[in-house]
Structure 1
Amino acid sequence: MADDKSKRAFRDRDRVSADEDYEVAYFAEKAGITVQQVRDLIAKHGNDRATLEREAKALKGR
């Protein structure tokens, strides 16, 4: 079932849904990495936004 974008709780903002292409694409663009790299980070570290931002920054710095 599709995500109801009109019903957003605060907890929705601290996660990146790997099932939603627009969320993955937005995070990839914001972090300066590829969509596949975002999916790999989610698979490895989970979908917590703060963790993903930290790992994306480290990945981009390599």
Structure 2
Amino acid sequence: MSDDKNHTGSPDRISLGEDHEIRDWTTSLGVSESELREAVDAVGNSAGKVREYLKVG
């Protein structure tokens, strides 16, 4: 299956399954990939909960 960047997941959910999504979230949140993965492991893939966990915007 191709990596269709035009078909994205929900903007309020963080997907760690695609390299471009990891890049986009780490850039958006200003964190490293390991920090992003730690946050998702801790609170799930809700962008709001991850932001709270990371204490960002």
Q: Same fold (TM over 0.5)?
A: yes
Structure 2: stretches of 5+ with no match in the other structure: none
Percent identical residues: 27
Q: 1:23 aligns with which of 21, 24, 31?
A: 21
Kindly state the Cα deviation for residue 49 of structure 1 after the two structures are TM-superposed. 0.6
Letter in 1 for 2:35: Q
Kindly state the Cα deviation for residue 2 of structure 1 after the two structures are TM-superposed. 5.3
Runs of 4+ in 1 over 2 A off after TM superposition: 1-9
Kindly state the Cα deviation for residue 13 of structure 1 after the two structures are TM-superposed. 1.5
**Inter-partner Cα distance in structure 2 for 1:19 and 1:54:** 22
Identify the structure with the greater helix proportion.
1
Letter in 2 for 1:24: I
Larger Rg over CA atoms:
1
Residues matched between the structures, number: 56
Q: TM-score, normalised by structure 2?
A: 0.72
1:57 aligns with 55
Q: TM-score, normalised by structure 1?
A: 0.67
> Contact 1:24–1:39 at 8 Å: present in 2 too?
no
